Structure 1
């Protein structure tokens, strides 16, 4: 057997490829974020659909079109939200934090540790009940700031401490 036979192609990666990731250990956000976003969308759209359905019965049947549109939007969001959440990931690199989002319109923001001014953690009542929090990394320029939604609370708190420490260490070196 010849040792120089061509190897079969490897299967495509399971994660979203991104130019220049160089095998970095990208970390996803919690899948529970999908549940939170789905419940939030349902809490807004279903009452509106019910209201337009009632108005269609009592006022004019033309309002049934609005009910149908709201039902279609709700169905589309129930399909879209999990895909959006799976596309959010982040990685701590030696000199910066990188956050990437999106499947069709991908974006990536890198935040150098030396530019970090402060790091916020926020969590609404429903997110708290699911054990989730959001991290917002603030810099002097809004263009280089970023947020990571839907992290488990303990991960968010540890990340805030690490980012603040990185930021202070970089500032001290200036």
Structure 2
């Protein structure tokens, strides 16, 4: 069953562990805001006991999210074949996207403020069919640039044959 989502005949490249750090900082901000709003709301309307209960629930939720983010980051990987790019990710719900180079229309590189602060970027491939679009988050900027240039060149070269 593992060969269905991660063929063994290719050399897989994992994404940077910094991806987990970016997602954990984002989760900390979201959980922090939710905790503050909940504490104020429950504390004012229902009493301090419900505020403490909310704090416990948010702590457990954040701890669970912390673990899941690490597992998800470790599941992201990609491989370059002669005619196609493979992107695999997911633990419980696995996904393997195979994008033929000749079907690519354009390649995006994006990095938000947190991603730039941690030194990572996301490469996104666009095809005519949105279902076959693929993205690879958590790449070092040099690798993202190299991959963008290589995929663009391969896409252009193989599109001539269509």
| 1:146 equivalent in structure 2 | 134
TM-score by length of 1: 0.85
Measured after TM superposition, the shift of residue 46 of structure 1 is: 1.1
Q: Give the Cα separation in 2 of the matches to 1:48 and 1:86.
A: 27
| Structure 2 CA distance for aligned equivalents of residues 156 and 115 of structure 1 | 20
Matched, 1:59 2:45: yes
Mean CA deviation greater in 137-146 or 46-55: 46-55
Shift of 1:104: 1.6
Q: Distance in 2 between matches of 1:71 and 1:48?
A: 11
SS of 1:18's equivalent in the other structure is: helix
Q: Which residue of 2 aligns with 1:5?
A: none
Q: Please list every run of at least 4 consecutive aligned residues from structure 1 whose deviation after the TM superposition is greater than 6 angstroms.
A: none
Rg larger in structure: 1
User: Following the alignment from structure 2 to structure 1, what is the Cα–Cα distance between the partners of residues 130 and 153?
Assistant: 21
**Higher-RCO chain (CA-CA 8 Å, sequence separation at least 6):** 2
Helix, strand or coil: the match of 2:115?
A: helix
Q: Contact between 1:96 and 1:110, CA under 8 Å: does it hold in 2?
A: yes
Deviation at 1:54, TM superposition (A): 2.7
Q: Say which SS state the counterpart of residue 86 (structure 2) adopts.
A: strand
Instruction: Output the CA distance in 2 between the equivalents of 1:111 and 1:89.
Output: 14
Deviation string 1:140-164 (CA, Å, 9 cap, x unpaired) is: 0011111001111100000000000
Q: Verify the 8 A CA contact 1:26 1:91 in the aligned structure 2.
A: yes
Q: Structure 2: where are the runs of 5+ without partners?
A: none
Match of 1:124 among 100, 112, 132: 112
Give the corresponding residue for 2:60: 72
Length, aligned pairs only: 159
Q: 1:18 — aligned with what?
A: 3
TM-score by length of 2: 0.91
Alpha-carbon distance, 1:55 to partner: 2.7
Partner Cα distance (1:57, 1:113) in 2 = 56
Q: What RMSD in Å do the two structures reach over aligned CA positions?
A: 1.7
Q: Which runs of 5+ in 1 are unaligned?
A: 1-15
Q: Does 1:94 align with 2:82?
A: yes
Deviation at 1:75, TM superposition (A): 1.2
Structure showing the higher helix proportion among its residues: 2
Deviation track 1:92-124 (CA, whole Å, cap 9, x = no partner) reads 011100000111211100000010000000001
